[in-house]
């Protein structure tokens, strides 16, 4: 293990293009110690092991957040909600929450939503086309999944823009990296506003159940068990934030990737039926959820190295998805790849495999099929693009397009 010039997960350059750094780390060794005190994994098999072995690699959210935010983290409002969320719970607590959330999150919800999602996409692009151009990120990639997940949860249309702004402030909390005091203050404010909003909604849905996902969460039962009020509010906030931030990041990265690969862009314009089959490759090529963290619970070997219990590990999904031992020419965008044996780790794996993966795939399919069939003359103005500054929640913050 090479400990000189420690890799820094907070390096702003990673938010622009992390892939050359990952390639260098992968070549150097199986694990690295990083400048934030966490071990780093960049090989596909190692990241997969971290995701799949829930006995050895756990969230241990309290310990993890103490290391991240400080010993007094329990006084921070964000912590009280986030510690009850499914995505950071372990063992039996996680299995229980997962059963209840999965009960509410049914394939029928997706089918019911398809038609509305199609209308949202058509309307958002039509508005851009009327003006001759739009910022793809602020005028499509964000509002589209926000409207979809908001509709799914039963949030009225008129509230999407304001409530969605608060959800964005929670984006950095989903990362496992230290936060500045300003970012932390905004996140704390946002979580309180969202909690108040969903608490009111819960009171209404208890009295008057509707057919939306939020009602289903309120009323979900498994063997007589239900979500407590605190768990309900916390997990509704999670679905709202996770349900659009990653999709927004991924949609913008995918369009940028097509812009940089004009042959593939033209191929999809000529063959829109190939779009559903291209989604997993677009998400492998540039992955919105670049990494996730765990605490080691028992001594584990990675290559020639041993990691002792209590250590923190960052598994770089974005690096695993470009591992040359798994994918030939991994830096190329290639829609012919066969993923039957080596599924990209884009949506995680093991017990925490993404609950929203089919919703996300459906949103991608609608977003790109609508754009390329209804507006085939669309062009990206690559010069105006800008990357987000959250390196693990990767995406663009501006991507002008024109017709
Ligand atoms: C392209 C879009 C998306 C990507 C790349 C993505 C990625 C991921 C990943 C990597 C994980 C596992 C994290 C870990 O093990 O630490 C995860 C979990 C999760 N995702 Fe997604 N996600 C996406 C869209 C969505 C959507 C649309 C929703 C909800 C509507 C959603 C809800 C969740 C939830 C609730 C979990 C936690 C599951 C659990 O812990 O059991 N995600 N996602």
Q: pLDDT: is 289 or 177 the higher one?
A: 289
The whole-number pLDDT of residue 4 equals 57
Mutating to test ligand 1, I would choose from 238, 356, 393 the residue with most ligand atoms within 8 A of its C-beta, which is: 356
The whole-number pLDDT of residue 179 equals 86
Average pLDDT, integer, range 269-274: 96
- Residue 49, pLDDT above cutoff 90: yes
- Residue 80, pLDDT above cutoff 70: yes
User: How far is the C-alpha of 249 from the C-alpha of 364, rounded, in Å?
Assistant: 11
Atom of ligand 1 nearest to the CA of 98: 41
The rounded Å distance from CA 348 to ligand 1 centre is 7
The whole-number pLDDT of residue 105 equals 80
Least confident of 74-83, 173-182, 211-220, 338-347: 173-182
Please, what is the average pLDDT of the chain? Answer: 93
User: How far is the C-alpha of 22 from the C-alpha of 32, rounded, in Å?
Assistant: 11
Contacts 24+ apart (CB under 8 A), 322-331: 322/19, 322/22, 322/23, 322/284, 323/26, 323/42, 323/43, 323/44, 325/43, 325/44, 325/45, 326/44, 327/284, 331/19
Atom of ligand 1 nearest to the CA of 94: 41
Least confident of 43-47, 215-219, 234-238, 262-266: 215-219
User: How far is the C-alpha of 228 from the C-alpha of 240, rounded, in Å?
Assistant: 18
The whole-number pLDDT of residue 220 equals 86
Banded model confidence at residue 162, pLDDT cuts 50, 70, 90: confident
Average pLDDT, integer, range 268-275: 97
Mutating to test ligand 1, I would choose from 47, 167, 242, 362 the residue with most ligand atoms within 8 A of its C-beta, which is: 242
Q: How far is CA 267 from the centre of its chain?
A: 27
Atom of ligand 1 nearest to the CA of 88: 40
Q: pLDDT: is 305 or 211 the higher one?
A: 305
Banded model confidence at residue 63, pLDDT cuts 50, 70, 90: confident
The pair phi, psi for residue 353, each rounded to 5°, is -45, 135
Mutating to test ligand 1, I would choose from 106, 246, 285, 349 the residue with most ligand atoms within 8 A of its C-beta, which is: 246
Count Cβ atoms below 10 Å from residue 8 Cβ, excluding itself: 14
User: How far is the C-alpha of 296 from the C-alpha of 50, rounded, in Å?
Assistant: 9
The residue nearest atom 32 of ligand 1, judged by CA position, is 356
- Residue 1, pLDDT above cutoff 70: no
The whole-number pLDDT of residue 6 equals 94
Q: pLDDT: is 171 or 338 the higher one?
A: 338
The whole-number pLDDT of residue 324 equals 98
- Residue 256, pLDDT above cutoff 60: yes
The whole-number pLDDT of residue 3 equals 53
Nearest to 302 by CA among 70, 48, 83, 112: 48
The whole-number pLDDT of residue 252 equals 98
Average pLDDT, integer, range 367-389: 93
Q: pLDDT: is 72 or 323 the higher one?
A: 323
Residues 6 or more apart from 246 whose CB is under 8 A from it? 288, 289, 360, 393
Average pLDDT, integer, range 88-115: 90
Give the predicted TM-score (pTM) of the model: 0.94
User: How far is the C-alpha of 70 from the C-alpha of 393, rounded, in Å?
Assistant: 22
- Residue 2, pLDDT above cutoff 60: no
The whole-number pLDDT of residue 390 equals 86
Atom of ligand 1 nearest to the CA of 364: 1
The whole-number pLDDT of residue 273 equals 97
The whole-number pLDDT of residue 106 equals 84
Ligand 1 is surrounded, with C-beta below 6 A, by 51, 86-87, 98, 149, 238-239, 242-243, 246-247, 250, 288-289, 292, 317, 346-348, 352, 354-356, 359-360
The residue nearest atom 13 of ligand 1, judged by CA position, is 348
Least confident of 156-170, 191-205, 319-333: 156-170
Average pLDDT, integer, range 158-165: 86
Instruction: List, in order of start, the domains of the chain with CATH numbers.
Output: 13-402 (1.10.630.10)
Name the percent of the chain lying above pLDDT 70. Answer: 99
Average pLDDT, integer, range 126-155: 94
- Residue 68, pLDDT above cutoff 60: yes
């Amino acid at each position: 293990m090479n400990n000189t010039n420690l890799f820094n997960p907070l390096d702003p350059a990673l938010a622009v293009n992390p892939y050359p750094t990952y390639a260098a780390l992968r070549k150097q060794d199986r694990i690295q110690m990083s400048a934030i005190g966490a071990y780093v994994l960049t090989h596909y098999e190692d990241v997969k092991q971290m995701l799949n072995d829930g006995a050895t690699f756990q969230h241990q959210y309290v310990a993890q957040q103490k290391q991240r935010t400080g010993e007094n983290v329990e006084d921070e409002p964000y912590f009280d909600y986030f510690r009850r969320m499914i995505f950071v719970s372990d063992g039996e607590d996680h299995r229980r929450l997962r059963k209840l959330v999965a009960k509410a999150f049914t394939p029928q919800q997706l089918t019911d939503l398809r038609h509305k999602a199609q209308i949202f996409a058509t309307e958002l692009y039509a508005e851009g086309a009327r003006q001759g151009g739009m910022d793809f990120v602020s005028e499509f990639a964000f509002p589209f999944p926000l409207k979809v997940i908001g509709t799914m949860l039963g949030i009225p249309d008129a509230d999407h823009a304001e409530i969605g702004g608060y959800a964005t402030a929670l984006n950095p909390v989903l990362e496992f990296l230290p936060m500045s005091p300003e970012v932390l203050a905004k996140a704390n404010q946002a979580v309180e506003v969202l909690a108040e909003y969903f608490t009111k909604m819960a009171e209404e849905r208890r009295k008057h159940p509707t057919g939306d996902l939020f009602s289903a969460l309120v009323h979900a039962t498994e063997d007589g068990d239900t979500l407590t009020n605190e768990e309900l509010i916390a997990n509704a906030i999670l679905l709202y934030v996770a349900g659009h931030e990653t999709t927004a990041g991924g949609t913008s990265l995918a369009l940028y990737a097509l812009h940089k690969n004009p042959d593939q862009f033209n191929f999809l314009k000529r063959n829109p039926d190939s779009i559903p089959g291209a989604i997993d490759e677009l998400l492998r090529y540039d992955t919105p959820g670049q990494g996730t963290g765990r605490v080691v619970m028992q001594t584990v070997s990675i290559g020639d190295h041993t990691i002792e219990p209590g250590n923190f590990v960052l598994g770089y999904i974005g690096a695993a998805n470009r591992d040359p031992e798994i994918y030939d020419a991994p830096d190329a965008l290639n829609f012919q790849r066969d993923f039957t044996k080596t599924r990209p780790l884009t949506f995680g794996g093991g017990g925490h495999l993404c609950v929203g993966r089919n919703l996300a795939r459906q949103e991608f399919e609608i977003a790109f099929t609508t754009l390329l069939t209804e507006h085939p003359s669309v062009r990206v103005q690559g010069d105006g693009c800008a990357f987000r500054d959250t390196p693990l929640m990767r995406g663009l913050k501006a991507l002008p397009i024109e017709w």
